[in-house]
Amino acid sequence: MTPRQPPEQQAPPVQKLRIRYAKTGRARFASHRDFSRAFERALRRAGVPMAYSSGFSPHPRISYANASPTGAATDAEYLEIGLARAVDPGQLRNELNAALPDGLVLQDVVEAGPGSLADGLTASVWEIDLGPVPGDVLAGAVAGVLVSETLPVQRMTKTGMRDFDARPAILALAVIGEGTLRLLVEHQAPLVRPDDVVQALTRIEPACQSGQPAMFHRRYQGSWDGQVLLDPFNGEPLVLT
């Protein structure tokens, strides 16, 4: 055998499926890398006929989009897989759910439509639980955020501390319960995350800190058409509950 000769090209996928999954409970502490390893192993345990990339080290064809930060719960993560053989999406969902660890659940599996998955994911709805914060304090802070022209925040990135304006990405912010907010945020660069919004709230009103770490829960992801959030799978307006 001659080494160094590139291996044969893999055939392109026969079927592409798009998946919405949830990461809740203790699994919310899984990082995106942790999730992808667990997902790939579940694919193998369930015997899913994956298509593989070409090259010396073939990988199963999986594309991930907009991973939630480690520690956040989510009902609205999305990915796309390429298969070597067509399968029934409902059956794939059931078998993969049986193979995934606790707290990782596939919600929806559909045949990929036209356009890229990422194009349909331009905004997110988050719920933010700040713990026990008095209602008037929180309402005041939210009003403060909404009237601000700019919201300078800082975040540690790989390249060091970075300053940016969180305001343009915030499409809506409202109090929905005790210490609990709902945030509609557009995906921009740099990506504004719910903890950036908490930082902005705390700058306006330090009493927004309850002493407990804030909990984040992504409820929806979709494309923002200027009026409503559209489901990335069927283009219909998402019904927010």
Instruction: Give residues in contact with another protein (CB under 8 A).
Output: 1-5, 7, 25-27, 29-31, 33-35, 37-38, 40-45, 47, 52, 56-58, 70-71, 99, 101-103, 212-213, 215
CB of 227 to another protein, least distance (A): 35
Q: What residues contact residue 25 under an 8 Å CB cut-off, 6+ apart?
A: 73, 102, 103
Q: Which is nearer to another protein, 41 or 162 (CB)?
A: 41
CB of 125 to another protein, least distance (A): 21
Interatomic CA distance for residues 113 and 38, integer angstroms: 26
Q: Which is nearer to another protein, 71 or 89 (CB)?
A: 71
CB of 115 to another protein, least distance (A): 30
Q: Which is nearer to another protein, 42 or 201 (CB)?
A: 42
Please report, for residues 24, 153, 164, 181, the alpha-carbon distance to residue 189 in angstroms, rounded to integers and kept in the order given.
26, 14, 10, 23
Q: Report the candidate in 27, 20, 36 with the shortest Cα–Cα distance to residue 101.
A: 27
Interatomic CA distance for residues 87 and 213, integer angstroms: 43
Q: Which is nearer to another protein, 52 or 224 (CB)?
A: 52
CB of 66 to another protein, least distance (A): 20
Q: Buried (b) or exposed (e) across 49-61, using 16+ Cβ within 10 A?
A: ebbeeeeeeeebb
Q: Which is nearer to another protein, 47 or 160 (CB)?
A: 47
Q: Report the candidate in 217, 173, 166 with the shortest Cα–Cα distance to residue 187.
A: 166
CB of 138 to another protein, least distance (A): 19
* CA end-to-end span of the chain: 61
